Amino acid sequence: MGAVNSLEQRLRRHVDRLAGEIGPRGLFAPAAYRAAADYIDAELASGGYEVTREPVPAPKDMPDAVCHNLVAERPGTDPAGIWLIGAHYDTVPGTPGADDNASAVAALLEMARHFAGVSPRDTVRFVALANEEMPHFTRPSHGAMAHAAGCRRRGEKIRLMASLEMLGYYTDQPGSQRYPAGLGACYPDTGNFLGIIGGLVNTGRIKRLAAGFRASTDLPCQVLITPVWAPALVRSDHFAFLLNRYPAVMITDTADFRNPHYHSAADTPNSLDYPRMAAAVTGLCGAFERLSGG
C-alpha cells in the first residue's frame, strides 16, 4: 500500500507542478513552455537518464520560436527494436491542462522511473513531445512528426509507439461515457476504464499490450481495434507515427468523450482521480515490461 500511495503522491506532484504552478504552456507562452521542459528534463535526469533535447521546427508564422522534444532511453540488453512511449507537454491557450496532458506526462515520468530499475531485452524510449495541439498537429512544427520522421531517417525499428493522451479522469457515474457515432452499443456507458485504440494491422501488439495491462492492474481496460481511422480516433501523437509507417496506438481516458473539463480552464489538478491514475500507470509499466522482455 505504501508504494501505491507513493506513486499517487508523485503523480499528483507532477500534475501540480505542470498544471497548478506552470499553467498554460506552449509557443504562445514561451516562459511557461521552457519551465515545463526544464521540469521534465530534470525529473528524467534525476532517474539516471541522459536526456536529449531534440529541436522541433518552428512554425512559419513564428520563425524564432524554440522548443524541443525531450528524449530518454532505457537501452535493451539485446536491442533489436524500440518500444516508444510518448506524451505531449503543451496545452491549448487558456487551460492549465491537468488531464490534457499533464496526466500523461506524469505517467511518462513514472514509467521512466520504473524502467530505470528494469533490464529490458529491447530498448524502451520515453519522449515528451512538443506541439501536439492545433495548429501544429501534423504540420512540420508538430513534435511527434519531427521525431517520427527522424526515426524513419535513422532506419529505427519501432516495435510500437504508444501515445499517452489524457490518463487521469475517471467516474462511476452511469451515462458518463460517450463514443464516436456507431460505437456506443459495443462498450460500457460508465467512464471508469482506460482505453487502448489502434488499427487492425496492429492487432497482435494491441492484444499483447492489453493482456499485459490486465495482468498488472485491476483498472478496467477497453480495447478498440478498427480498420477505419476516423478523426476522433487519430487526434493524438500516434497519428504522426502511423503516417511514417510505424505501428502506433493511443492510450487514453477518452478525453472529451468523458471529461467535461476538456480544453477549458476547469481542467485543473483537483479534477483528476489519482488512485485510478496510479492503477493505470501500474498496468502500463507491467504491460511494457512484458512487451520489452524486462
What share of the chain has pLDDT > 90, as a percent? 89
C-alpha closest to that of 16 among 105, 76, 84: 105
Residue pair 72/50 in contact by the 8 Å Cβ criterion? yes
The position carrying cell 493522451 is 165
C-alpha count within 13 angstroms, C-beta hemisphere, residue 263? 6
Query: Terminal CA-to-CA distance of the chain, rounded, Å?
Result: 24
C-alpha closest to that of 280 among 223, 237, 224, 218: 218
Residue-wise pLDDT for 164-192, tens only, equals 999 999 999 999 999 988 888 889 999 99
- Pure H helices in 16-77: 30-46
Mean pLDDT calculated for residue range 87-104: 98
Task: Kindly tell me if the per-residue pLDDT of 120 is higher than 60.
Answer: yes
Residue pair 57/146 in contact by the 8 Å Cβ criterion? yes
C-alpha cell at 87: 506524451
Alpha-carbon gap, residue 88 to 102, rounded angstroms: 8
E strand spans, the chain: 52-55, 68-74, 82-88, 123-129, 158-165, 194-199, 221-226, 248-252
> What b/e readout covers 40-71, taking b as 16+ CB neighbours within 10 angstroms?
bbebbeebebebeebebbbbeeeeebebbbbb
C-alpha closest to that of 241 among 155, 135, 163, 132: 163
In single-letter form, the type of residue at position 97 comes to G
Counting the structural domains of the chain, the total is 1
In single-letter form, the type of residue at position 232 comes to A
Which tops the pLDDT comparison, 224 or 233? Answer: 224
In single-letter form, the type of residue at position 214 comes to R
Residue-wise pLDDT for 22-78, tens only, equals 999 999 999 999 999 999 999 999 999 999 999 999 999 999 999 999 999 999 998
E strand spans, 20-132: 52-55, 68-74, 82-88, 123-129
Q: What is the pTM of this model?
A: 0.96
Per-residue confidence band for 5, with pLDDT thresholds at 50, 70 and 90:
low
Which domain CATH number covers 96? Answer: 3.40.630.10
C-alpha closest to that of 96 among 30, 16, 163: 16
Alpha-carbon gap, residue 108 to 178, rounded angstroms: 26
Alpha-carbon gap, residue 127 to 37, rounded angstroms: 11
Mean pLDDT calculated for residue range 216-231: 89
Structural domain boundaries enclosing 50: 2-291
Bridge pairing between strands 82-88 and 68-74: unpaired
The position carrying cell 487514453 is 252
Per-residue confidence band for 3, with pLDDT thresholds at 50, 70 and 90:
low
